[in-house]
Amino acid sequence: DDWFAEYHTYDDIVWWSGDLAARFPHLVRFVPSIGRTHEGRDIPMLRITAPGGDGGKERKRVWLQSLQHAREWISGSTLQYIAEKLVGGYGKHSRVTRLLKQVEFVLVPVVNPDGYTYTWTTDRLWRKNRRDNGDGTFGVDLNRNWPDHWSSKGLWTQSSSVIYPGPSAASEPEVQALMQAYLKTPNVVAVVDIHSYSQLLLRPFGWGRTLDAGERQYREVADQLVKDLALARGSRYTSEHAVDLYQAKGIAIDWWAGAGQQKRQADSARAGSTRPYAFTLELSPKDDEELGDSGFVLPPSAIRKVGEDVWPMILHLAEIGLTQP
Ligand code: 0X9
Ligand code: ZN
């Protein structure tokens, strides 16, 4: 049966991850847990690369993650789709084959297992994790909890809010697990945090405007990627500076491009670890379709189309990443 005919539960995605490694043992390593959630669920990880060469030590890495926000089901399906395209394309398509010999893809298919499970059992539109805030409310917005310009000041920061940033920066086990795994992964040249919706490719920073030497390069790459997508697929994605959409503090891409990169450079004995291209990818539908909250509830019949839309973009981003020093 067709895996992409339906969305899948956390347990099924864990099963699929192990199964992918069993089906493609020469390409895939399944890491059952990089950390545990409040409710004790494991956060799994997949590593996909071709054997040989230098044994992988100097290999460049592309980091992809999905389901940081529980209700954004299409983000998980799309990551699974990309994984299947990678393993299925190896030895068949020259671009994929060439890429997998030089790049290791590091995939976190379910960043937020507790929240995601809750969207299956109780509330389809749940966004946060499931921290017990101790005041009758539950959940921290993981994409406000990263330790770069983390802030609990301002509107919408009370515990009941859908964008509650948590009691302190990196307070959440999910964010801690991802940070740790990321900092242990050398040579990351590109990172994509997959979300929905609105068809946007957002670049750092979300916290504010800064004169940053990397901004022009980020913009050029993102503009190129959305242009490719329009040409190849006719789907319109918009490239934007995240803060221009709205300001958000403590988001993942800001940590990767900001504090996380500084930490990596400080920790690393190896000089000159390059800053990765870091993007938030907001998948379909577009917000001008006036779907309101139903925008998060994309029918399963859209899974393949969205996967096909963004697959060339991810492929091209990885190739661009390879040209990073
Ligand atoms: O608000 C978010 O965390 C992301 N959008 S979502 O609808 N998936 O929740 C966007 C994060 C980065 N963008 C901005 N800073 N505007
Ligand atoms: Zn999101």
pLDDT in tens, 198-251: 999 999 999 998 867 788 999 999 999 999 999 988 889 999 999 999 999 999
Give the H or E element holding residue 257. helix 252-257
Provide mean pLDDT across the span 287-315: 85
> Which tokens belong to 257?
């491009």
In a domain, 44, yes or no: yes
Q: Is 292 left (phi over 0), alpha (psi -120 to 50) or beta?
A: left
ipTM of the complex: 0.99
Q: Does ligand 1 lie within 6 Å of residue 202's CB atom?
A: yes
Q: Does ligand 1 lie within 6 Å of residue 245's CB atom?
A: yes
Is the pLDDT score of 8 beyond 80? yes
Distance in angstroms (rounded) separating the CA atoms of residues 299 and 311: 19
In a domain, 180, yes or no: yes
Using CA atoms in the order 300, 302, 306, 307, what is the torsion angle rounded to 10 degrees?
A: 50
Q: In the chain, what is the straight-line distance between the N-terminal and C-terminal CA atoms, in Å?
A: 43
Q: Compute, in angstroms, the gap from residue 169 CA to the centroid of ligand 2.
A: 18
**What's residue 290's pLDDT?**
55
Q: DSSP strand E in 123-276: where? A: 188-196, 200-203, 238-241
DSSP-derived secondary structure letter, 4:
G
| 3-state secondary structure (DSSP) of residue 262 | helix
Q: Compute, in angstroms, the gap from residue 282 CA to the centroid of ligand 2.
A: 7
pTM higher than 0.95? yes
Model confidence band, residue 55 (pLDDT cutoffs 50, 70, 90): low
Atom of ligand 1 lying closest to residue 245 CA: 16
In a domain, 248, yes or no: yes
DSSP, residue by residue, 279-315: EEEEESS-GGG--GGGGG---GGGHHHHHHHHHHHHH
Q: For this structure, is 58 an active site residue?
A: no
Query: Which CATH number is 63's domain given?
Result: 3.40.630.10
- The range of the structural domain enclosing residue 288 comes to 3-121+171-322
CA distances (Å), origin 25, targets 188, 198, 283, 304, 321: 23, 36, 30, 25, 25
**Minimal-distance CA residue to ligand 1 atom 1:** 248
In a domain, 275, yes or no: yes
Q: Compute, in angstroms, the gap from residue 228 CA to the centroid of ligand 1.
A: 23
In a domain, 143, yes or no: no
In a domain, 160, yes or no: no
Burial class (CB in 10 A: 0-12, 13-18, 19+), 165: buried
Atom of ligand 1 lying closest to residue 72 CA: 8
pLDDT in tens, 70-113: 999 999 999 999 999 999 999 999 999 999 999 999 999 999 99
| 3-state secondary structure (DSSP) of residue 88 | helix
**Minimal-distance CA residue to ligand 1 atom 12:** 242
Q: Does ligand 1 lie within 6 Å of residue 266's CB atom?
A: no
Set 39, 172, 282, 319: catalytic member: 282
- How many structural domains are present in the chain? 1
In a domain, 316, yes or no: yes
> Which tokens belong to 254?
């800001």
Q: Compute, in angstroms, the gap from residue 10 CA to the centroid of ligand 1.
A: 23
> Which tokens belong to 250?
């403590």
Distance in angstroms (rounded) separating the CA atoms of residues 184 and 105: 14
In a domain, 155, yes or no: no
